[in-house]
Amino acid sequence: EKTGASLNITGILSKYVVFNSTLGPEFMDKQLQNFLLTRNIDDDDFDDLFQPAKRKLGTLRGDEMYGFVPALMLGGPSSLDHLEKLKAVEHLILLSQLAELQPYSF
């Protein structure tokens, strides 16, 4: 928290982006609050599948996420029929073991 740098990870693609902040440590709490308050579900809605998945599979618990089975990195299709409710931590650990984390190349 003292450096202001952040790392965004896209787990299903095993990609990341690093952002360096120019703000000092005294602004870190405010920056985190701003981040949390401005999150928009559409920013993280892969292929617009969140609402259809919620209708089909139900609301997520705090420790769950919707995930593709089989995982996209294993060749699974990115369709509603292949989404399941999964334990978030365990699924993210599995995804992290399927492919080495790579930077986005843009």
Q: Which residue has the tokens 């360096």?
A: 20
Residue 86 has pLDDT above 70, yes or no: yes
Residue 84, domain member (yes or no): yes
- Give domain status of residue 106, yes or no: no
Task: Say if residues 8 and 17 touch (Cβ distance below 8 Å).
Answer: yes
Residue 43, classed as helix, strand or coil, is helix
- The domain tally of the chain equals 1
Residue-number span of the structural domain to which 76 is assigned: 6-101
Look up the pTM and report it: 0.68
Reported as a single tens digit per residue, the pLDDT across 26-69 is 777 787 788 778 877 777 788 899 999 999 999 999 999 999 99
Provide the mean pLDDT of the chain.
83
Instruction: Indicate whether 10 pLDDT > 70.
Output: no
Angle at 87 between CA 58 and CA 9, to 5 degrees: 105
Q: Does any domain span residue 63? A: yes
